[in-house]
Structure formats: C-alpha cells, structure tokens
Amino acid sequence: MIDKKDFEIVNLEPKHDGRKSFYGKAVVLTEGNTLRLRSYQTIVAEIKKGKVEVFGTYSNTTLRHIKEFLLQNGFKAESKKQIERDYIKSTVKCRSIKQSELTSECWMVQFRGLSACATCKFRDKPSCGGKAIREKLKNDKGFPVPLGKVIK
C-alpha cells in the first residue's frame, strides 16, 4: 500500500514554455524519489535516481510537456532529436531482410546472428538448422549472418 505522504500528483505548469497553462493535460506524479510525467493519460517520462528515461515523444504537445518536465528538473531539453538520442533507451532492433536472401536453414541465426545459438535447445542436435551456418558464418546462398541491415 502506498503511503499518501510519499505520493503526490500535481499539474505541470509552464515556466520555460510560452504557454500560459497545459490545462491539466500534463501531470507530475511523485512517488518517493521517482518523478513521472503523465501527458494526457500516458506516462511518457521518468526521473529515477538522477537518471531520465523518456518512453516516447508521441506528439508535438507531449514533446512540449516532456521538454518542460526535463528543464524544470535541471536536464537538457533542446530538441526532439536530442531528447530521443539522450533519454530514449532503444531496446528493439529491427532488421530489413530481403526474402530472396533467406534459406531454409535456421531463421533465428539468419535474423539474429550466431548469438541465437547460445540458448537454442536444438543446438548440436539432429534437428539443428544452424550447424552449417555456424561453420561457414554464411547461409547456403552465401550471405553472411545476420542478414540485412539494422533500421531505426
């Protein structure tokens, strides 16, 4: 159970933005030493132990809320590009892979590279489809693994 004295909700008021108000659309939730910014109904940023994490900039208005939140708490907030570079932790890597480069061999190895073998339950078993790729570092069509290019 959260003790009410350790939990506070206040409207984010503009101090660095030219707006008179955010009209209740931006709220700061304080729980212990953690600050969270809610823009509309979505938690979009968090400051915890002196570290910022932004979960997405979503819209121009939400970006204004994020900039204000960061500036009021002593963090840099120059542009969308800077905020995304400095505060959004990318956990997903996407790859663009040409279907014509794929073979019937293990797709996990072709998509993720040899690291896919580390925890694979089929490794070194008769049903393993990546054995030849591990030996050659390429699939049967001669393409190095992982296939494709990382995209953002």
| Displacement of CA 109 from its chain's centroid (Å) | 23
- Whether residue 152 has pLDDT greater than 70: no
User: First-to-last CA distance in the chain?
Assistant: 40
Q: What average pLDDT is seen over the chain?
A: 90
Give percent of the chain with pLDDT exceeding 70.
Answer: 93
Q: What is the pLDDT of residues 102-113, one digit of tens each?
A: 999 999 899 888
Tell me which residue of 117, 95, 112, 105 sits closest to 146, measured CA to CA.
112
Please name the amino acid found at residue 113.
G
User: Rounded to whole angstroms, how far apart are CA atoms 93 and 72?
Assistant: 32
pLDDT at residue 1, rounded to an integer: 45
134 membership: H or E segment, kind and range: helix 131-136
Of 71 and 31, which is predicted with more confidence?
71
Q: What is the pLDDT at residue 2?
A: 47
- What does the pLDDT read at residue 143? 95
> Would you say residue 89 has pLDDT above 70?
yes
Q: Is residue 131's pLDDT more than 70?
A: yes
Flag whether the pTM goes above 0.85.
no
Element (H, E) at 75: none
For residue 14, cis peptide bond before it (omega within 30 degrees of 0)? no
pLDDT of 50 above 70: yes
Instruction: Tell whether the model's pLDDT for residue 54 goes beyond 50.
Output: yes
CA nearest 145: which of 110, 116, 115, 120? Answer: 110
Nearest to 133 by CA among 101, 96, 105: 105
Look-up: residue for tokens 């997405």? 56
The yes-or-no verdict on residue 38 having pLDDT over 50 is yes
